[in-house]
Amino acid sequence: MNTEPHDYDVIIAGYGPVGVTAANLLGGMSVRVAVVERDASIFPRARAISTDEETIRIWQGIGLAERLKEDMLAGLPIDFVDARGRSFLSLAPAPRGNGHPPQLFIYQPAMEQVLRDGVDRYPNVEVLLGHECEAVEQDSDSVTVTARDLTDDTLRTLRGAYLIAADGGSSPIRTRLGIGFDGRTYHDRWVVIDTKVKRDWDTVDRLRFHCDPARPAVDCPTPLGHHRWEFPVLPGEDEQNLVSHDYIWRLLRRYGRTPDEVEILRAVVYSHHVRFAERWRIGRIFLAGDAAHAMPPWIGEGMSSGVRDAGNLCWKLAAVLRGELSDDVLDSYEVERKPHVREMTAQAVRFGRIITERRPGLAAVRTAAFRVLMRVPAFRAYMQEAGWFPDTSYRKGLLDHTGGNPAVGEQLPQPWVRTDGRGRVRLDDVLAGRWTLLHTGPARPWSAWAASGVSCLQVTPAGSTPARGTIVDSDDVLIPWMRQHRATVLALRPDVVVYAAATGDADLPRPPFVAAPPAPVGEHTPPPAATAMP
């Protein structure tokens, strides 16, 4: 048995979308990371099938957004149709300001490969595939993980300052810690059928929710020549028989699909869950992704919510490890993320009720009501512009509400801007994951922030000439947003959430840093050669 300690800053258990995102984020911040993953290779089944613009914005921060989007489908329509295939609710979601398409369909194995290739850029990240977390212990100074190599049954001891448990909905680490996973499992079981498209058909490129009370169905395009269907298991049906090719073809032929059009790749039966871990932090251990929460798939936000977890937690861990922020700042992770996940889950449940209503009378009322409502311009705009979608906005957490400015806790939109020497770039590429002051002028000393090494940029109107220390609001987004939120200066966190804000002659609250860091706050190693990845 090898008990020699291996020192890391953060150990990540699980290497799915959440774990691999965390590894990229922390790798780019020069954090020493060990990843422990039970499976020796990427899980071959496409579980998640969509993501959103904010998730892509997080992946932009690790330099992989454009490469990932090459393998995604964007801008596809969404239809809710009745038993006769007639649309009663049709959506083409509008962008919500993050600088990327609002909804993108993914093929998860390909997406995970790109993210894992991204981790290979970082010599400070060690990945242990085919290893199982056999034991986890912690004390006041560290977390110790005993990892078993499943190929030769040897043990290795890993010692880190913190542990992120991104080990899935059944999370052995959450179970070992005795953390409750409260909520409900829906009685309906669903069969998921993944196929390879051999020949296109007229609706191959749209997501269709077949809201048929006799048997609802999901009919979804996925990229790289794939397509997915989902059907509920009806009372009395044999799940073993349901995943046989003969039965699958009975289901697909109901919607006109034939072996000339698709090849069946795999089918699996699963349950929908609504669950939340009681606590997301125990000492030096943090739950993330499905280990912390589970939601039904109806708005495609399960995986994306986990990526948001990583985006919220990782920069805080890096700042604490560098001595810039105190350890108690890490309590803000659950405070900020849990309400957002609860709201997202509630919306998923509401959409699920629209899709899966099994009582014919209520289904008829639902269909008629939506047909009428979609003729009302305000309602149609609300649905198209995703007014129902919970934006990232925090009321509590690592924020300073002194002065009561409404911008505090909001995530700043990401337009294209112009800078001196760089031309037209996305805002986040200028901010580069650092604490930053943005102001509309005139500049004030803001001495406490300047003493901490925080950069200060003036936002100038569209049409201005780029100059040193300025960004030109070429899309005319930032200045109107700041005016709407009654702010002339914003103190932005590395995740582009407003920590503090002020207007006019009012001074900014002091920064939350423990001490002035030896380098600009939030400085991290930019992803090397991100756009050149194959």
Is the predicted pLDDT of residue 470 greater than 50, yes or no?
A: yes
Task: Give me the amino acid identity at 391.
Answer: D
In angstroms, the CA 194 to CA 515 distance is 53
Is the predicted pLDDT of residue 524 greater than 70, yes or no?
A: no
Is the predicted pLDDT of residue 519 greater than 60, yes or no?
A: no
Polymer length of the chain = 534
Domain 7-74+102-181+274-352 part of CATH 3.50.50.60? yes
The predicted-structure confidence for 125-168, as pLDDT tens digits, reads as follows: 999 999 999 999 999 999 999 999 999 999 999 999 999 999 99
How high is the pLDDT of residue 506? 86
Which of the four pLDDT bands, split at 50, 70 and 90, describes residue 1? Answer: very low
Domain 7-74+102-181+274-352 identical in fold to domain 416-532? no
Mean pLDDT of the chain: 92
The predicted-structure confidence for 337-374, as pLDDT tens digits, reads as follows: 999 999 999 999 999 999 999 999 999 999 999 999 99
Sequence-ordered list of residues with C-beta below 8 angstroms from that of 332, at least 6 positions apart, any chain = 316, 396, 397, 398
Q: Identify the bridge partners of residue 89 per DSSP, sorted by sequence position.
A: 80
Q: Identify the bridge partners of residue 11 per DSSP, sorted by sequence position.
A: 34, 163
Is the predicted pLDDT of residue 5 greater than 70, yes or no?
A: no
Is the predicted pLDDT of residue 521 greater than 50, yes or no?
A: no
Measured distance between the N- and C-terminal CA atoms of the chain, rounded to whole angstroms: 40
Which of the four pLDDT bands, split at 50, 70 and 90, describes residue 516? Answer: low
The predicted-structure confidence for 302-350, as pLDDT tens digits, reads as follows: 999 999 999 999 999 999 999 999 999 999 999 999 999 999 999 999 9
**Per-domain residue ranges of the chain:** 7-74+102-181+274-352, 416-532
State pTM to two decimals.
0.93
Query: Burial of 504 by CB count in 10 Å (0-12 exposed, 13-18 middle, 19+ buried)?
Result: exposed
The predicted model gives 255-278 an average pLDDT of: 94
The predicted-structure confidence for 25-49, as pLDDT tens digits, reads as follows: 999 999 999 999 999 999 887 789 9
How high is the pLDDT of residue 11? 98
The predicted model gives 249-255 an average pLDDT of: 94
In angstroms, the CA 145 to CA 163 distance is 9
How high is the pLDDT of residue 443? 87
The predicted model gives 265-272 an average pLDDT of: 91
SS3 314: helix
How high is the pLDDT of residue 3? 44
**CATH class name, domain 416-532:** alpha beta
